[in-house]
Chain A
Amino acid sequence: EVQLVESGGGLVQPGGSLRLSCAASGFTFSRYAMNWVRQAPGKGLEWVSSIRASGVGTFYADSVKGRFTISRDNSKNMVYLQMNDLRAEDTALYYCAKDCYDSSAHLDEGTWGQGTLVTVSS
């Protein structure tokens, strides 16, 4: 069974930092790009960042570029989101999501975790 479990969320002051983690299991992790998506309270879904299967190639939403860094460890089946200089508008549930295509361009079912809550407030 494909599973993604996020952790690392919490309450942080504006300007602070957090590191989110996502533990993956049930699929060949190193063959899939991974993504982070967030949802602010009462709002819709917003893509945040992505990283290619190999780890070479990262992408960011303009709203987080220069502040967030995505990384992965294929030996541990983990993906991370380092969040610096956090702002009130970063308050959201952060979801880890497996890509729908593997590295051979085979279409597969995407999967999301249950999310981890980040609250930025003084």
Chain B
Amino acid sequence: EIVMTQSPVTLSVSLGERATLSCRASQSVRSNLAWYQQKPGQAPRLLIYGASTRATGVPARFSGSGSGTDFTLTISSLQSEDFAVYYCQHFNIWPWTFGQGAKVEIK
């Protein structure tokens, strides 16, 4: 199975600052990559699919890039509601696999 590795595991960021999260696949997943945001007690919320397409209703400050094995989620200016855990996931083939999660916390 494809192993998805996220870095960093924890990111401390101040309000208004830029946050950059990375996700690496152990083999190419082309552009079949999604990013999710999860807050405590809530289901994961889809942010990005197809590596760079924002899901419906997702603010423009969220952007995704990359293809093949290396991907990035960027939050251009962190808002208070963005502090959460973020997961990457490939959907290139079954089994889907997920990164271990990256927590974005207040600095």
Residues of A in contact with B (beta carbons under 8 Å apart): 35, 37, 44-47, 50, 59, 61, 93, 95, 99-101, 107, 109-115
Count residues of chain B with CB under 8 A from any CB of chain A. 22
Q: Tell me the chain B residues, 48-107 only, with Cβ under 8 Å from chain A.
A: 49-50, 53, 55-56, 87, 89, 91, 94-101
Shortest distance from the beta carbon of A8 to any chain B beta carbon, whole Å: 16
Q: Are B98 and A109 in contact (CB under 8 A)?
A: no
Q: Are A110 and B34 in contact (CB under 8 A)?
A: yes
- Inter-chain contacts of B87 with A (CB < 8 A): 44-45
Query: Is residue B46 contacting chain A, with contact meaning CB distance below 8 A?
Result: yes
Q: Are B34 and A61 in contact (CB under 8 A)?
A: no
Q: Are A44 and B98 in contact (CB under 8 A)?
A: yes
Q: How far is the CA of A100 from the CA of B101 in the complex (A)?
A: 21
* Interface of A (DSSP majority class): strand
Q: Of B43, B56, B91, which is within 8 A of A100 by CB?
A: B91
Query: Is residue B44 contacting chain A, with contact meaning CB distance below 8 A?
Result: yes
Q: Of B50, B56, B96, B100, which is within 8 A of A37 by CB?
A: B96
Q: How far is the CA of A113 from the CA of B46 in the complex (A)?
A: 11
Shortest distance from the beta carbon of B40 to any chain A beta carbon, whole Å: 10
Q: How far is the CA of A59 from the CA of B36 in the complex (A)?
A: 23
- Inter-chain contacts of A46 with B (CB < 8 A): 98
Q: How far is the CA of A37 from the CA of B87 in the complex (A)?
A: 13
Shortest distance from the beta carbon of A46 to any chain B beta carbon, whole Å: 7
CB nearest to A33 among chain B residues? B94
